[in-house]
A and B are shown apart, each in its own frame.
Chain A
């Protein structure tokens, strides 16, 4: 807890304990509100740029009563100023936005005073959505290890997941220098396939596109053991051909033998400590358990806070499933779900007011795990609110401008190539 003061450390400890209760522990609006206002008040005291922004907006802690009034910081602001509650130089980690392939754009910087909070949010949420059956699997990553990508929140995330949740044999199958080690990955998967051992594959969507394109070219395919699963994440940003999510999932089914319900898309960003996942695998496992046992068995897993994992509570775990019908009969559609310590609001990009459910808008997140930076983040990502979650409908950054003008990144590329 490098740079948080005593008040911050107390609040962080409280949050770590709360996250340890897992995603099935409901945080009602009052409880979330209480914590959110305390987190904001702390940030207002310790994060000078954020405090200045709040004053500019007339949204200081004394002036607001509900978390939805907390000022949100546009993700672009992370490129302009260090948004950290405390001394940036003393931060335990800095995650940077990836920018575009062209590489000259200024990158956003997210300072994390304290990685414990990040890990406390990451692990139960990941486990709930990728390993809801309590499986202990070899976790194979298509991303280079974090040591090679110190700026990448995703690389860090995967490393922690492998370290804490992976079975022996887990590891990274890529390097920055040479990309995916297809031979080693193929050999490892072939071994697991023959042994009938299910695996968990993790990587960016564009890495999967590169790899599956190569598999297809070689006429190679796998029939991974039942229970195998895959998490992909992120847009393409010109790093591979653009592939529609449905098409990509069909490819995973065809070339890897992983069924639809075991394909989980993750949505995260450098500016946030918590992540979002597709509901499908978790819903599927819960549904099967209800069908099989008439109740849900939460895995007794050792995650961030082993002793804090709360008692299984069927009422609570069912809260997100459609009401009034047996849970097994009507699966809810694929959507992104947040852990209880995150709230997402879809806002109108013109007015920045909340949109009615179902309408297209831009996503705004309030993340308690962001104690060390800013709780409220305004993204450029497009989505629609649905019952229990939201649909992610594209990430705005990188949309080409209309008209006959020129995209900023092309311009930056030109400058990068200019001898000066």
Chain B
């Protein structure tokens, strides 16, 4: 990055004229090593551009087969995976400064995220949720072509009585064939939060797949990658690029947000409870709202997995799950629950995790912290040391700097981490006690990385699901949900859709 050079354009706004730009918001990172440029617009300008976006949708998106869209998106994604492509190089060079993540972390996240934007992943998503993706293009037989196994089981089922009703069922008085078609919103408005790169791009892609003209308002923590993706997509498919806009304005900018909230048919909002609530309260009646509020995750290890042989591997998986995204992802574990009675004692396992945290640091260094974040880690460590002094069974296993902190606390309780690789490890007499500890937090739980024998896994999954957990997976898969996952227990495509039944 040349500090004296031209700043990077962190926006993609089709139809934007120079005259529309009130002034440029130049955002500097790393003492000016990376500079981003974002146009500041008047509300009336945004209104006009959103109208234009809608019209572009009518001309192109609304009439283009979904599989043509997945092809264009795939081509854009491929460029982000090409090590030598300028856009990949730009992302790799600028994102560490913009997001605070280390270069190694950015490379890993780009690779993993971009894989989810490739055609196979997109097709898997479409098929998992819709059965036949062509319902987005024209009327299709319903529920023909849907294998029971891939049925997503949504509440928007057809008039024949649900997904599990065999196609050829007789005797319900509904012999006439039904065909269905799904329409996405004409204009979807996404409000992003956080600094995990790629999350926003995934959300924009879902919206394009359902053929919505799409406006993404980026987060101050990561305003760049969604804009780069939109720019590349527009190069590959100019017509598709006309239907997508990405830009940034400071959250809470009422006049601009009012315009976007009024114009949108669906609003997808990410972020903290208060930010989400604020948007909800300002939404016009009838606008569909999809919320991705704050979520947190945890890891659980059954005693059968705590063998002398397996403990090191399990510890490495735990350490890596906490290290990816520097623990800032909703999929990142805050607490590890260990069941007592295994070959390896919980306290010893905590030591193994600390060792593995050190190893991960070498390969995947933690990012830059703000002064306040580092200060908080020091406080958390200090408080834990005093718990030990006060006679509780607590140990602090930490790096010399703030790189990682493992706190072993024999008192099982759930505590949200201050993040940035501060992991609490706590024992349980039996996994069946877990639900009691998690119950109060049910609304905020997302992923449980669970290492347990199959039979116990199934039993516990049931209990965890009841509490509010929306994803149970292996420790190593924690950071990387499959493309077709039920994100926060929802169906990211179907919840954007409106279904039309054509009977007879």
Interface residues of A (CB under 8 A from B): 49, 52-53, 56, 73-77, 79-81, 349-352, 360-362, 378-380, 382, 394, 396-397, 399-408, 410-411, 414-415, 418, 420
Tell whether, in the assembled complex, residue A404 and residue B294 are in contact, meaning their CB atoms are under 8 Å apart: yes
Residues of B within 8 A of A410 (CB): 272-273, 294, 444
Which of B258-266, B356-364, B412-420, B425-433 participates in binding chain A?
B412-420
Interface residues of B (CB under 8 A from A): 100, 193-196, 199, 221, 270-273, 292, 294-296, 325-330, 332, 334, 369-383, 385-387, 389-390, 401-402, 415-419, 439-441, 443-444
Tell whether, in the assembled complex, residue A404 and residue B372 are in contact, meaning their CB atoms are under 8 Å apart: no
Residues of B within 8 A of A404 (CB): 193-194, 196, 199, 270-271, 292, 294-295, 328-330
A-B contacts, 16 of them at CB < 8 A, read A53-B385, A56-B385, A378-B378, A379-B375, A382-B372, A382-B375, A399-B373, A401-B328, A403-B194, A403-B330, A403-B332, A404-B194, A406-B273, A406-B295, A406-B416, A410-B294
* Contact residue among A49, A79, A396 (Cβ-Cβ distance under 8 Å from B372): A396
Chain A: minimal CB distance from B78 (Å): 27
Tell whether, in the assembled complex, residue A396 and residue B330 are in contact, meaning their CB atoms are under 8 Å apart: no
CA distance A312 to B322 in the complex (A): 61
Q: Total A-B residue pairs with C-beta atoms closer than 8 Å?
A: 155
Tell whether, in the assembled complex, residue B440 and residue A420 are in contact, meaning their CB atoms are under 8 Å apart: yes
Residues of A within 8 A of B194 (CB): 402-404
Given contacts A403-B194, A406-B273, 10 further A-B contacts (CB under 8 A): A49-B389, A76-B382, A349-B378, A362-B371, A396-B372, A403-B332, A407-B272, A414-B441, A418-B439, A418-B440
Residues of B within 8 A of A382 (CB): 371-372, 375
CA distance A382 to B372 in the complex (A): 7
CA distance A380 to B374 in the complex (A): 9
Residues of B within 8 A of A415 (CB): 440-441
Tell whether, in the assembled complex, residue A406 and residue B294 are in contact, meaning their CB atoms are under 8 Å apart: yes
Tell whether, in the assembled complex, residue A79 and residue B383 are in contact, meaning their CB atoms are under 8 Å apart: yes
Tell whether, in the assembled complex, residue B382 and residue A73 are in contact, meaning their CB atoms are under 8 Å apart: yes
CA distance A80 to B386 in the complex (A): 6
Given known pairs A75-B379, A81-B390, A420-B440, the reply for A403 and B418 (CB within 8 Å) is no
Residues of B within 8 A of A76 (CB): 379-380, 382-383, 386
Residue in chain A with minimal CB distance to B436 = A420
Chain A: minimal CB distance from B307 (Å): 32
* Interface of chain A, main secondary structure: mixed
Tell whether, in the assembled complex, residue A402 and residue B375 are in contact, meaning their CB atoms are under 8 Å apart: no
Residues of A within 8 A of B377 (CB): 349
Chain A: minimal CB distance from B336 (Å): 16
Q: Which of B194, B387, B389 has most chain A Cβ within 10 Å?
A: B389
Counting from the closest, the 5 A-B pairs by CB-CB distance are: A403-B328, A74-B382, A349-B374, A406-B294, A76-B383
Residue in chain B with minimal CB distance to A349 = B374
Chain A: minimal CB distance from B374 (Å): 3
CA distance A367 to B294 in the complex (A): 40
Chain A: minimal CB distance from B394 (Å): 9
* Contact residue among B329, B390, B402, B444 (Cβ-Cβ distance under 8 Å from A411): B444
CA distance A27 to B332 in the complex (A): 51
Residues of A within 8 A of B379 (CB): 74-76, 378, 380
Residues of A within 8 A of B369 (CB): 349-350
Tell whether, in the assembled complex, residue B376 and residue A399 are in contact, meaning their CB atoms are under 8 Å apart: yes
Residues of A within 8 A of B371 (CB): 349, 360-362, 382, 396
Residue in chain B with minimal CB distance to A352 = B378
CA distance A283 to B94 in the complex (A): 46
Tell whether, in the assembled complex, residue A349 and residue B402 are in contact, meaning their CB atoms are under 8 Å apart: yes
Chain A: minimal CB distance from B107 (Å): 19
Tell whether, in the assembled complex, residue B390 and residue A349 are in contact, meaning their CB atoms are under 8 Å apart: no
Tell whether, in the assembled complex, residue B325 and residue A406 are in contact, meaning their CB atoms are under 8 Å apart: no
Q: Which of A80, A81, A380, A403 has most chain B Cβ within 10 Å?
A: A403
* Contact residue among A350, A362, A380, A403 (Cβ-Cβ distance under 8 Å from B195): A403
* Contact residue among A75, A81, A379, A411 (Cβ-Cβ distance under 8 Å from B389): A81
Chain B: minimal CB distance from A394 (Å): 7
